[in-house]
Structure 1
Amino acid sequence: MVPNASAGQLLISAPDLTDPNFERTVVLLLDHDGSGSLGVVVNRPTELAVADVLAPWSGYSSAPDVVFSGGPVGVDGALALAAFDSVPAALGARPRGWRPVIGGIGLIDLDSDPESLREDLRALRIFAGYSGWGAGQLDSELSQGAWVIAESMPGDAFSLRPERLWGDVLRRQPGDVRLLATCPADPSLN
């Protein structure tokens, strides 16, 4: 049986997924339907400062104030994930280009004025590229055990310690899945 995935959930790569694009990654699913799936890797910071590529947003992005590698697709483009203290749509003051994903977390248009978001903005992360799957591709990978599906917590996408997120998310899962967090990066060392 293929586990069901939906927007707002996390995909945690299985320890034996050795594709360098996804090895030990945590992906926040932004879309998942019959036409395909789209997400961003939330635990791969780069060394590129936000100020160097999107200066107007650098004072608003969460620590670490760097661009994250969102995945291997569209690496010349950028996506912004924002978290608001209050869900903007519920306030009737929906920011330009806001598209909710889960709760107060969603995509924000980088052409909007960052100053207009200051009051309710809790966190912001900029991603170069994204992770994408064609129709049925992610479901196939899920049935092969390449990914573990987990519910996202509000701070996952904006973790202050993204290098630890893979293990942290696995450790909070029920049952034997939590044991995957103890797998060494090189299984031959086990």
Structure 2
Amino acid sequence: MKKHTPTYLKHQLLMAMPHMADPNFAHTLTYIVEHTANGAMGLVINRPMDLNLADILEQLRPDTLSSPLCEHIPVYGGGPVMVDRGFVLHPATMNFDATVELPDGLALTTSADILFSIADGRGPQRSLVCLGYAGWDAGQLEAELADNAWLTCPYSSDILFATSSELRLDAAAKHLGVNLNLLTSQAGHS
């Protein structure tokens, strides 16, 4: 008997199926940062909050004026877990106090020094700032995939950095050649 090797989705995009009822994930596109037998962690990348980087910096260093540029850098709701914790996806061209390199020249930083660097004009040219993350316990994401709650798509830096947030989910679907509006929650059986 052939042993089944699990397929992990690290560095993939996860698209919520149109019938997703969980309000935390309905109509979301999530970048999967880590996925192992112990669970998964990702960042929702298409839900801008009513915050911008200037708002965050005002909380972190209230006595310093931030650059007007920071008012145009959105902050995304990365997921329902630890919503007071920041995560920044960016090209791996720079390292900060807490930076983890990811595949394809991508990095994730969780230290505030990247925010100050962006505000001072010395940070990465492209970045995505999130508060909170999406987390799944061991086997939970696999069960949700088996229940047809998600579609997976290969990572694309264009979708992450060059596509406006409201178009990212459709861009990922188009990358797969899928129209999400035509999908059903019923799995096909023959």
Q: TM-score, normalised on structure 1?
A: 0.77
User: Equivalents in 2 of 1:22, 1:64: separation in Å?
Assistant: 25
Taking only the aligned residue pairs, the percentage that are identical comes to 27
| Correspondence list, 1:23-172, <5 A | 23-55=26-58, 65-84=73-92, 86=93, 94-112=95-113, 114-115=116-117, 121-172=124-175
How far 1:138 sits from its partner (Å)?
Answer: 0.3
| Number of matched pairs | 174
Residue 14 (structure 1) aligns with:
17
How far 1:4 sits from its partner (Å)?
Answer: 2.8
- Closer/same/farther in 2, CA of residues 153 and 10 from structure 1, 3 Å limit: same
Q: TM-score, normalised on structure 2?
A: 0.77
Structure 1 residue ranges without an equivalent (≥5): 89-93, 184-190
How far 1:5 sits from its partner (Å)?
Answer: 3.4
Q: Is the 8 A contact 1:62 1:124 kept in 2?
A: no
User: Equivalents in 1 of 2:28, 2:101: separation in Å?
Assistant: 23
Rg (Cα) greater in structure? 2
Cα deviation code 1:106-126 (max 9, x no counterpart): 211323354499668231121
- Closer/same/farther in 2, CA of residues 70 and 3 from structure 1, 3 Å limit: same
Q: CA RMSD for the aligned pairs?
A: 3.1
